[in-house]
Amino acid sequence: MSIAANPPLPAHLKWYMGGLGTYFFATGIQMVLAPWLIKEVLGMGPEYVGIAQACSMLAMLLLGLFGGATADRMELRSYLMRLQLMGMVVPLTLAAAIYMGYLSYPVMIVYLLVFSTLGAFVTPARDSLLTRVINRERPGAIQKAVASAMSMQFLSQVLGNLLSGLAGLAGPLFIVLTQALALAAAAFTTSRLPKAPPPPAAPLKEDQKRPSQWQLIKEGLVIVWQSERLRPVITMMFSSGVLYIGVFMVFFPILIPDVYGGGSAALAGVYVVFFSGIGISSTVQSRLRPIKKQGRAIMLALCTGSAAMVGFHFEPPFWSVYVLAACWGLAAGVSMTQSRAIVQEFASDTHRARVLSIFQLGMMGGGPIGSFATGYIIKAIGPLNAVLVPSAAMVVVWLTMFFFSPLWGLEAPPHKVGSGAS
């Protein structure tokens, strides 16, 4: 594939990327800080880390569809601003608990549950807003915009991971207060975007009531289920959520201290390498010409991720852990970018947030299931053996999707014309 020319980003897209980056910088802080506080400061075992990490994704499973249905009815700019300002309360409350000596496992669970609830409403709204700040009339514009957004998201998470890695030196209080400032910055950058009112709904008949949240959710689910493109993609990403994301959230916080004797800095280093791999992969995709065989790219990337996971079983030297994490991240960048691009390309304006919330439910909602199970599997057979379980399960899923779904042959659509910001 040849390199495509990249024109300068429109002003609105720059502000969008700024808000995206600061928000995911805050989430990157949580990803390292929370398991470190639970395992190293509170001294809890792997099953407790697994439960906590499941809680960090639980809201997406339970509330993600409501988040999408709500976003489709909202003026997205002001809605996002309010959510992010409300989110500041979460780290500020944790900071108060740390400062007053009230840090405990229940406090961490509440922190993770509330922060994940915020994400269940922020994510579909922000994803839906992306198509409002790009020129959709350019061929491949959505795929490139999604790749750029993914790059910003995960490179920002890397910075959050790096900062959290300093918790042992700087103290968790400083880290948590920085998280609150990042959410304030996300609200400010969002305020610089143009208003994004909801698309006009079909006029109601005289005897017809405004559809309820449940009806809106049902509409989105029906659209996904009836789509030969969306259904296999979301099914595959749900499997990835259970077997990759959920495992990742528990595996490394146990592997690094228990097998390699590392602390918060070593854990953050592995996270940095992994998410840098996603960011680099997404950046490369944003600069290449759009990938045509999107389904094939997703499935080959998931194969690569499984191979990397198997590598951890052999207890390689610690430097090899970084290499395997980088390979896993590079592959994840392809599967996540291309699957999200497919959803953005084929979702209508009137249903985009709902369809995106179903996608997020598939990808992140499977995480709590994987995290919960992984904690107990690690307790039973150890981290080095436990990593073989999701790898074997993904082989079964992969073969099923290859033979019984159209995913392998799924291609990017021809030039799709739509209205959007220049």
Spans of all domains in the chain: 11-195+212-219+226-409
Which range of 130-134, 332-336, 353-357 scores highest in mean pLDDT? It is 332-336
The per-residue pLDDT of the chain, averaged, comes to 83
CA distance 124 to 243: 23
Under the banding of pLDDT at 50, 70 and 90, the label for residue 7 is: very low
| Residues forming a β-bridge with 3 | 288
> Does 212 have pLDDT greater than 90?
no
* Residue 348 φ then ψ, to 5°: -75, 160
The pLDDT of residue 200 is 65
Task: Output the DSSP codes for 29-54.
Answer: HHHHHHHHIIIIIS---HHHHHHHHH
Q: Give 143-161 pLDDT, tens digit per residue.
A: 788 888 888 888 898 899 8
Is residue 183 within 8 Å of residue 23, measured between CB atoms?
yes
Superfamily of domain 11-195+212-219+226-409: MFS general substrate transporter like domains (1.20.1250.20)
In this structure, what token pair is assigned to residue 202? Answer: 């079909």
Closest CA to 85 of 44, 15, 31, 26: 26
For residue range 54-101, what is the model confidence (pLDDT) as tens digits?
A: 888 777 778 888 888 888 888 889 999 999 999 999 999 999 999 998
Provide CB contacts within 8 A for 251, sequence distance 6+.
Answer: 312, 374, 378, 383, 386, 387
pLDDT at 419 over 50: no
Residue linked to tokens 């608990």:
97
State the DSSP code for 3. B
Least confident of 52-56, 110-114, 316-320, 329-333: 52-56
Q: Which amino acid is at 218?
A: K
What pLDDT score was predicted for residue 9?
53
Among 16-30, 61-75, 78-92, 300-314, which is the least confidently predicted range? 61-75
**Burial bucket for residue 31 (CB in 10 Å: 0-12, 13-18, 19+):** buried
Helix axes 366-381, 388-404, angle to 10 degrees: 140
